Chain A
Amino acid sequence: MLVQLTKRTLLLLASLVLASVLVFWFLSVLPGDPAQVALGTGATPEAVAEMQERFGTDRPLTVQYLDWVSGLPVGDFGVSYVTGATIGPLIVDRLMVSLWLVGAGMLVALVIAVPLGTLSAVHHRRPLGTVLAGVSQVGIAIPNFLAGILLIGLVAVSWRLLPAGGWVPPAQDPVEFLRRLLLPALALGIIEGAVLARYVRSTVLNVLREDFLRTARAKGLTPARALVRHGLRNAAVPVVTILGLQLAVLLVGAVVVERVFVIPGLGSLLLDGVANRDLLLVQGVVMVLVLAVLLLNYLVDVLYTALDPRLRAAA
C-alpha cells in the first residue's frame, strides 16, 4: 500500500513538471506579442520595447521559464501583463465560480444518471430499458455548448423564465444566484448525466447478476429492496471512480459553457488571457487545470484502493 502510494505520488510530481514545460513551450511559440496587444494601434516601437522590458519578455526563454516555475510551488504565479494584478488570487476567485458550476453540473448529472441508469438496467431487454438507453445515447451526442444555446433560446429568450446568462455571487443574492446557475448547470449536467447513466446501467446490470443479490432475494427481500440495500452499495464503487474522472471532464467542459453563459469563471479568464496574450495568466490557469485533473485521478486511484478491500489485498 505504502509503496503503491509513493509510486503514485512521484508520478504525479513528474507529470506536473512535464506539464509545466509543455505549457510554457507551447505558449511561447504562439504568434503575437503581449506588449503589442497591451499598447494597441497607438504603439510606437520604443513603447513596445519599454513594455517588453517591464513584462520581462525580452529575457531568454529559459530564464523566463525558471523564473515562472520556481514560484509555482509556493503559489506565486506572477503578475498579469494586462491588469498588473497578482495572478494567484485572481485564479482562486475565478476557480470558486467554476467550482459552483461544476458542482451544480455534477448534481444535475447524478439526478439524471442514477434513476435513468438503474431503471434501464432493471428493464434490461424490455421496451422501457431500450428507450432509456436510446435517450442517453442522444444525450451523449449533444455537445454542451449546443445544449447551452438551445436552453438560452428556449427558456431565456422565448419563455423569459430565467436570465440568459451572467453571474451573481451567492453571498450577494442567493435567489438570483440560483436563477443564473440553473441553465448553465443543466447545459453542463444533462450530457454528463447521459454519460454517467450508461455506467450506472452497466454496473447495476452486473450487480443484478451477482450471487449475493440472489441470496438476498432468497431471504425474502423484494427485488427493489434487495437492489437498494445490497445492490447500489456495490454498484457505487465503479461509479465513484467514473465520477472522479468525469469531474475533470466537467471542469474542462465548464470553459465552454462559461463562454456561452457569460460566467466569470476560470474558462472566461483563460479565453480572455489567450486573446490578450496574457501569457503568465494563461500558463497559471492551464497549470491549475492540469493540477486539478492529475489530482483527481490520483485521489480516485487512492480512494479506489481504500474503498475496495479486494484491491487493497492485491496491492
Chain B
Amino acid sequence: MARSVRTILIGLAFALVLAACDAGDTVDPDEATDPVDDVDGEPDEDDTDDDVDEDEVADDGEDVAGLSIGFAAEPASLDFSTDDGAAIPEALLVNVYEPLVKIDQEGEIVPVLAESYEVSDDNTVYDFYLEEGVTFSNGDPFDADAVAFSIERVQQDWTIGLASQMDIVEDVEVVDDLHARVTLAEPSNNWLFSMTTRIGAMFSPDGVDGLDEQAIGTGPYLVDDFARGDRIDLVRNDDYWGEAPDFNDVTLRYFGDPNALNNAMLADDIDLIGTVQAPEGLSQFEDDDRFEVIEGTSEGQVVLSFNHDREVFEDQRVRQAIRQAIDRESVMETSWGGYGELIGSMVPPTDPWYEDLTDVHPYDPEAAEALLEEAGAGDLELDFRVPNLPYAVNAAQTVQSQLAAVGIDAEIDLLEFPAVWLDEVFTEGDYDMSVINHVEPRDIAQYGNPDFYWAYDNPEVQDLLEEADRGDEETFAENYREVARIISEDAASDWLFLAPNLMVANERVGGVPENNVGEMFDLTVLERT
C-alpha cells in the first residue's frame, strides 16, 4: 500500500518539475526578445526593427514569406458540390479550383481558363477557347473533355441549390481539345455570370474522389493540409500554367469568435483579417500604426424584410410608412459602426444597372404617421423575428425604437442563427418582419419568386425579370434597373444599408481585394510589400 502512495507522490513531483520546465522554456526566449516596455503601446523604433528581422529569418530568407489570413466561418469540408457553406468557395475558388471565367474587382467578367470566349447573337451558344498547356494537380491535362465533364457533373451529382443554374445547359460539345461549345436550351444572361461562381469550377474526370478531403484543380495553390476546426494550409503549385502568385505559403485560419479574430491580428499572429465581423472593435486598429483598415463594398444588402403573406403588409401605405419612419443613417451607425453605404433598393453600386434610389421614400416620421392614419393602421403590432447576429440585433433595436416613435409596436424575438431562423422565418414564413444580410450576388431576382420567404408577388416584376434573362445585355440592364425602382417605390422591403467589406492588413501585405465580389477570396492579387 505504501508503494502506491509513493508512486502517486513521485508522479506529483514529476508533474511539478515538468510544469516548471515548460513554463520556463516558453517564457524565457520571448522575454529576451520582446522587452516589457511595449506595455504602453508606444512605438519603439529599435524594437520594431528587431521584430521585422526576426520574421524574415523565420520565414526562410528572401524568397518565401508565409501569409496568414484570418476568417470567421470555417468550411465544413472541401467539397462545395454537396456542402453549401460560403467558406469553401471563399477558400478554394480561383485559388485551387479555377473556373473558365471569373469576376474581377470591378465586377466585370474576365477570362481565366478560357483564353477567350464568343457568345452567339441569340445568347444561346457559348464558344470557349481554352488556355494551352494547363494541367490539373494530379497531372491530368485540362482540355475540352474536362469542361464537358465538369458541367455535366454539376447537373448530375451536385446537391447544392446553386447547381440548378446549370439546368439550362442543353449540350456541351467537344469541338477539339481546346474548344468547348456550350448550348443553352433558351437564352440566358445570367448563365455566364453563374459560371463565375463555384458551379463553373473545372474538375478533372479522375480527380473527384474524396472531394471533402482533397481538392484537385488547376489553380496557383494546392491544399497542403486541412485541419478541421483550425486552418487550411495552401502551398504554391510549382507547375502552375499562369503567373506565379507572390506568396508561397498561405494559411487560412478560422476563428469561431469575432473577438478572437481581432485579438489574433492585434497580437501579430495573422497578417490580414479577411472580413471583420466585430466592427465595434475596429478603433483598436485605426489607432495603431501597424495596421491599415480597408473598406470596400460587398454585395450584401441588409434587408428589413416584410412578409407579404401577412395581412398588415397588403397595404402599400403601411410598408411605405415603415420605410419613411426609419432613419437608415443611424441604423447603419449602430449596426456597423457607420461603415457601409446607403442604398435605396436591392442593388449594390458595383452592379452596372445601379441607380441611386436613396431619395425614394426618405426618412420623414411625420409623413409616416400620416400614412399610417390614412391606412387605418394606427396601432400596428408586428412580430419582429431577428437572427441572433450582432449586426442584425443592433439594427433591429434601432428600427424598433424608430417605429415606436410613429406608434408601431414591433416586438423583437431573437432566433438562433442559422438553425432556428432558417427553420421558422426562412422556411415556415412564421414572421411579420425580419432583418438579414443577403449576400448572394444579383439576388434582386428573389423579388420575382413568390415562394421566397418574403412572398412578394408582383406579376410586373416577374415579367420584367424573365424578359431580362432572355433578352440581350441592354434589355437585361434596363429591366433590372426598372425592377429596382418598382420594388423601391412599392416598398417591397426596406433596404437598410449595404454591408461594408472591412479588412485589416499589416504592412507585409498589399493589393488586398477590397471589394467582396463573387464567391472567392482571390489570393492571386495579393502582393508582398
Mark A residues whose CB is within 8 Å of B: 30-33, 36-44, 47-48, 50-51, 82-85, 90, 94, 104, 106-108, 110-111, 114, 152-153, 156-167, 175, 178-179, 181-182, 232-233, 236-237, 240, 259-262, 264, 268-269, 271-272, 275-277, 306-307, 309
Shortest distance between the CB of B263 and any CB in chain A (Å): 4
B424 located at the interface, meaning its Cβ lies under 8 Å from any Cβ of chain A in the complex: yes
Q: In the docked arrangement, what's the CA distance between A38 and B82, Å? A: 9
Mark B residues whose CB is within 8 Å of A: 1, 4-6, 8-9, 12, 15-16, 18-20, 22-23, 25-27, 30-31, 34, 36, 38-39, 41, 74, 76-77, 82-85, 159-162, 164, 212, 227-230, 253-257, 260, 263-264, 266-269, 416, 418-420, 422-424, 426-427, 438, 440
Knowing A157-B267, A160-B268 are in contact, say whether A32-B419 is a contact too (CB < 8 A).
yes
Contact indicator A167/B230 (Cβ below 8 Å):
yes
Contact indicator A43/B5 (Cβ below 8 Å):
no
Partner of A38, one of B34, B83, B416: B83
Contact indicator B4/A262 (Cβ below 8 Å):
no
Q: Which residues of B contact A42 (CB under 8 A)?
A: 84, 160-162, 440
Knowing A82-B76, A178-B25, A272-B229 are in contact, say whether A114-B161 is a contact too (CB < 8 A).
no
Contact indicator A259/B257 (Cβ below 8 Å):
yes
Pairs of residues from A and B, 7 with the lowest C-beta to C-beta distance, nearest first: A42-B161, A32-B419, A264-B229, A107-B19, A164-B263, A164-B267, A156-B267
Contact indicator A159/B39 (Cβ below 8 Å):
yes
Summarize A's interface: helix, strand, loop or mixed: helix
Contact indicator B161/A37 (Cβ below 8 Å):
no
Q: In the docked arrangement, what's the CA distance between A42 and B519, Å? A: 14
Contact indicator A38/B15 (Cβ below 8 Å):
no
Contact indicator A110/B19 (Cβ below 8 Å):
yes
Contact indicator B26/A277 (Cβ below 8 Å):
no
Known: A107-B16, A164-B269, A264-B227. 9 other contacts (CB 8 A): A37-B419, A83-B77, A84-B212, A110-B16, A160-B267, A162-B30, A164-B264, A233-B9, A259-B256
Contact indicator A47/B77 (Cβ below 8 Å):
no
Contact indicator B16/A111 (Cβ below 8 Å):
yes
Contact indicator A163/B229 (Cβ below 8 Å):
no
Q: In the docked arrangement, what's the CA distance between A262 and B445, Å? A: 38
Query: What total of A-B pairs shows CB separation below 8 Å?
Result: 187
Shortest distance between the CB of A224 and any CB in chain B (Å): 16
Partner of B22, one of A41, A178, A306, A307: A178
Contact indicator B230/A264 (Cβ below 8 Å):
yes
Q: Which residues of B contact A50 (CB under 8 A)?
A: 159
Contact indicator B255/A82 (Cβ below 8 Å):
no
Contact indicator A157/B266 (Cβ below 8 Å):
yes
Shortest distance between the CB of A163 and any CB in chain B (Å): 5
Q: Which residues of B contact A268 (CB under 8 A)?
A: 229, 256
Knowing A42-B161, A157-B267 are in contact, say whether A165-B422 is a contact too (CB < 8 A).
no
Q: In the docked arrangement, what's the CA distance between A307 and B2, Å? A: 9
Q: In the docked arrangement, what's the CA distance between A54 and B422, Å? A: 20
- For this complex, 19 residue pairs linking A to B, each with C-beta atoms less than 8 Å apart, are A33-B419, A36-B423, A37-B418, A37-B422, A42-B161, A85-B212, A108-B19, A157-B263, A157-B266, A158-B38, A159-B34, A164-B267, A181-B22, A236-B12, A237-B5, A259-B257, A262-B257, A307-B4, A307-B8
Knowing A107-B19, A260-B257 are in contact, say whether A41-B440 is a contact too (CB < 8 A).
yes
Q: Which residues of B contact A275 (CB under 8 A)?
A: 418-419
Chain B: CB-nearest residue to A234: B5
Knowing A39-B161, A84-B212, A233-B5 are in contact, say whether A261-B260 is a contact too (CB < 8 A).
yes
Q: Which residues of A contact B420 (CB under 8 A)?
A: 31-32
Contact indicator B263/A165 (Cβ below 8 Å):
yes
Chain A: CB-nearest residue to B268: A160
Shortest distance between the CB of B436 and any CB in chain A (Å): 9
Partner of B419, one of A114, A163, A182, A277: A277
Partner of B256, one of A84, A236, A271, A277: A271
Q: In the docked arrangement, what's the CA distance between A113 and B30, Å? A: 27
Q: Which residues of B contact A51 (CB under 8 A)?
A: 159
Contact indicator B422/A40 (Cβ below 8 Å):
yes
Partner of B264, one of A43, A166, A175, A309: A166
Contact indicator A44/B256 (Cβ below 8 Å):
no
Q: In the docked arrangement, what's the CA distance between A111 and B8, Å? A: 15
Shortest distance between the CB of A45 and any CB in chain B (Å): 8
Contact indicator A163/B256 (Cβ below 8 Å):
no
Contact indicator B76/A31 (Cβ below 8 Å):
no
Q: Which residues of A contact B159 (CB under 8 A)?
A: 47, 50-51
Q: In the docked arrangement, what's the CA distance between A144 and B1, Å? A: 37
Contact indicator B269/A163 (Cβ below 8 Å):
yes
Q: Which residues of A contact B161 (CB under 8 A)?
A: 39-40, 42-44, 47
Q: In the docked arrangement, what's the CA distance between A158 and B266, Å? A: 8
Q: In the docked arrangement, what's the CA distance between A161 and B212, Å? A: 37
Q: Which residues of B contact A309 (CB under 8 A)?
A: 1
Contact indicator A32/B264 (Cβ below 8 Å):
no
Shortest distance between the CB of B332 and any CB in chain A (Å): 23
Contact indicator B422/A32 (Cβ below 8 Å):
yes
Contact indicator A236/B212 (Cβ below 8 Å):
no
Contact indicator B423/A32 (Cβ below 8 Å):
yes
Contact indicator B76/A83 (Cβ below 8 Å):
yes
Q: Which residues of B contact A36 (CB under 8 A)?
A: 419, 422-423, 426-427
Q: Which residues of A contact B74 (CB under 8 A)?
A: 272
